[in-house]
Structure 1
Amino acid sequence: MVNAYTKSRIRKIVRRFDLIPLRSDSIASLYRKNAIVRVRTESGTYAMKPFFRSNLLHTGTIDQIKTAADYIQHLMNNGFNSMPKWLASNSGKLWTLNQGRPFYVTTWINGRSMDNQEDFEKLGRALASLHTTSSRSFPLKGPFYDHIRLWQNHDRLFRRRMAKANQTNKWTRRWYKRFGESCNQFSDRSWTELMSPELVDLFVKEMIRPALIHCDITSLNVIIADDGQLFIIDWDRIKLGSIYVDLATALMNTTRFNPVLIHSLLNGYEELRPLDRTERKMISSLYRLPREAWFTARFPKSPRSRIMLDIMEQTWPLRLKAMDLLDEWVNQ
């Protein structure tokens, strides 16, 4: 993958978007050495990105990029401005095919990561705008992505792995012994709440009239541009799904369990889309689920699994306080 994109290949792809490259360089992500190609042209700087299918969906790569592009076009048509602009290729589509791989091109955003309350309020407003923009002009075609069922499967696998902890390495056995049962208790409480009639009814209503969700709001996927505008990047996993899942995972992935930042994100969200008590309870229940621990059960030999368990151990007291904070928020 180091030399995956030659200059001639990059030029061939971006010319389909009416761009003439002057210089290009590959940018790595946590998972790929050539995640994005930054392309400098006379008209500005752009991001050329390969599209990879999600293994969690039972559809092919082309079907997935077609669906994602339709959703992106819908957001652009309805004035959602917290994402980089996707360029249309000379075929009129928001993507092109090269050597069997879909690629798309967006404007490049220069900026910084989030670091203060105002930034997190902006993220809250951006998420609320995403969820309301996509749900206003229904219908949108596509399946509803059921995170709840997926997470229940991950939880069951985690419990099975815990029960066979003597077959794992010494370090993992120690972690399971110290934190595993607490993770199960958090999950039990959340599943009980999520199965309550009021939350089941709320989830059913979402399935009938779903919204678009980003599915991967992390600190690395949020940029504060040089002019102060917030942009969310990396929209490959955009889906029809639960806005409460999207908000709960954004809280977990960006705020570092900081009470001030948690409140800032939620306050920004509720400026545009106020939440009632039932909705708040849904978010609090989803936030409590120990998804990082479940990841390690799915990929026990991955180096990332050890890192995630280390982070969980280091942040454990902060996590407990954040859970309590959200419980208080539900009852305000």
Structure 2
Amino acid sequence: MGRREKRRRSGFRRVLNQYGVLQSIADAYDLRILHAERRRRVFRVNTSQGWKKIKQFKYSQAELAYVHGVLEHLAGKGWRRTVPLNLTRDGLPYVETPEGLFYMSAWIQGEEINSEDPFHLEMAAKVIGEMHRLLQDYKAPENCQRSFPTHWQAKYTGQAEDLERYRQQAEGARKGKFGRRFWKVADDFIRLMGIGLQLLDEAGYGQLSQVSDFVTVCHTSPTTGNLILGSDGKIYIIDFDNARTDLRIYDLGKMLLRHSGWDVDKAVFIIRSYQEANPLTREEISLLPGLCAFPTKGWQVARSFFEEGKVHMGRLEKAIGELARQEAFVKALAQISPTDLCYQPEQLFQT
């Protein structure tokens, strides 16, 4: 048998495996699959009950129960900017297969938001702010680690230590083109980590992290791919797979990192828009410069190489290319008084 035929058969074998998994999932939900197509990490499926999304959940059942509870809490309050998980005929929000846990939900027809469109940014920030407000009274299950806020300083100190270890590995061994390139800039990544940790400390993160009024459920990944402009013109939030309890300012910081393009004016616009739905205190806002300082992309791509042996040269160059702009952005944001960024609308935004 030639190599080409082997590749064809192995490729078709993967298709058959996926087909079998999808069929078992459809059976669990008592529906028929009419058409299925893969889109990135999810399946878009036309079924006897309409268009659905099927996605593998790569974490534990306890964590999926947390996510399910969050979505049910929002649905129970009549919020329609996300969709709950469908239940199987056995009343479960997931299907357990040999490939892992899978869940199903309605497919939201629409397109990713455009971060350059002020309308999209404003509405996305408002919707996230409203979501945070509605989830502040969510009673998270105590048997799940996601129910407790991450300690940022411990988290980012660990990432800084990782970067130092990777730097030493790149220096002390032949790591090819990627390793040599990383070694030249590792100190810049580590220095920016130090700036972030110092800013968090100066802003009193340790004390603020204990204030329950500042804590809610965060999506943690408000990317363009997870913020959908629906065909009805409304903004929807999808993929709560990584949702967890944390300070609400965490999601806002992630929005700045993902959507500001290191433009301070755009960052101020996002901060103001968020507060149309969920006003912040000056103490919370003072955490934003530190939160935006961490070179997470650099740490991620380095970890992927040194821990998993995966080479992503383009991602490394992109992370390096953002260092100077990111540092300038953090310094500019830190120079704005948090009091000047606070905003109290006459009436809270509601969808």
1:262 aligns with 2:263: no
| Corresponding residue number in structure 1 for 2:232 | 227
State the secondary structure of the residue aligned to 1:216: coil
Residue 223 (structure 1) shift: 1.6
TM-score, normalised to structure 1, is 0.84
Q: 1:257 is paired with a residue of what secondary structure? A: coil
Pairing 1:204–2:210 present? yes
Identity %: 18
Does the residue aligned with 2:15 lie in a helix, a strand or coil? coil
1:48 aligns with 2:47: no
Q: Does the CA contact (< 8 Å) of 2:199 and 2:289 recur in 1?
A: no
CA distance in 1: counterparts of 2:155 and 2:221, whole angstroms:
15
> How far did 1:170 drift?
4.6
Per the alignment, in what secondary structure is the counterpart of residue 36 of structure 2? strand
Q: Deviation per CA, 1:56-83, whole angstroms, max 9, x where unpaired?
A: xxxxx22222232222222222333322
Using the size of structure 2 for normalisation, the TM-score is 0.79
Quick check: 289-298 or 258-267, which moved more? 258-267
Give the equivalent residue in structure 2 for 1:136: 137
AA partner of residue 206 (structure 2): V
Equivalent pairs counted in the alignment come to 316
SS at match of 2:53: strand
2:120 equivalent in structure 1: 119
Whole-angstrom distance in 2 between the partners of 1:157 and 1:137 = 34
Is 1:21–2:33 an aligned residue pair? yes
Map of 1:275 onto structure 2: 280
Could you tell me which runs of 5 or more consecutive residues in structure 1 were left unpaired when the two chains were aligned.
Answer: 30-34, 54-60
Query: How far 1:237 moved relative to its partner?
Result: 1.5
Per-residue Cα deviation, 1:128-159 (whole angstroms, up to 9, x for no partner): 12221111354654431415122221111112
Deviations 1:264-297 (A, max 9, x none): 3222211111222221121221111111222233
> 2:51 and 2:92 mapped to 1: Cα distance?
20
Q: Tell me if the contact between 2:163 and 2:189 (Cα under 8 Å) persists in the aligned partners.
A: no
CA distance in 2, matches of 1:4, 1:254: 39
Q: Which of 256-265 and 187-196 deviates more?
A: 256-265
What does the per-residue CA deviation read over 1:19-71, in whole Å, with 9 as the maximum and x for residues that have no partner? Answer: 332212222x2xxxxx2221113542111112111xxxxxxx22222232222
3-state SS, counterpart of residue 190 of structure 2? helix
Secondary structure of the residue aligned to 1:195 is helix
**In the alignment, structure 1 residue 146 sits paired with structure 2 residue 150:** yes
Could you tell me which runs of 5 or more consecutive residues in structure 2 were left unpaired when the two chains were aligned.
1-12, 341-351
Q: 2:195 is matched with which residue: 189, 198, 217?
A: 189
Distance verdict in 2 for CA 1:303–1:254, change over 3 Å: farther
CA drift of 1:310 comes to 0.8
Partner amino acid, structure 2, of 1:326: L
Per the TM alignment, residue 8 of structure 1 is displaced from its structure 2 partner at its CA by 5.2
Q: Which residue of 2 aligns with 1:319?
A: 326
| SS of aligned partner of 2:236 | strand
Q: Label 1:100 to 1:158 Cα distance change in 2 as closer, same or farther (>3 A).
A: closer
What is the alpha-carbon distance in structure 2 between the residues aligned to residue 248 and residue 12 of structure 1? 40
CA distance 1:328–1:14, shift in 2 (3 Å): farther
Aligned-pair distance for 1:165? 3.7
SS in 2 for 1:64: helix
Residues 298 and 320, structure 2, Cα contact 8 Å, conserved in 1 = no
Cα shift at 1:18: 4.1
The one-letter code matched in structure 2 to 1:128 is: G
SS of structure 2 residue aligned to 1:272: coil
Secondary structure at the residue paired with 1:97? strand
CA contact (8 A) 2:66 2:141 kept: no
Q: What is the distance in 1 between the residues matched to 2:228 and 2:270? A: 15
The question of 1:302 aligning with 2:303 is answered no
Which residue does the alignment assign to 2:348? Answer: none
Please name the residue that 1:72 is paired with: 71
Question: Quick one: distance in 2 between partners of 1:11 and 1:101?
Answer: 14
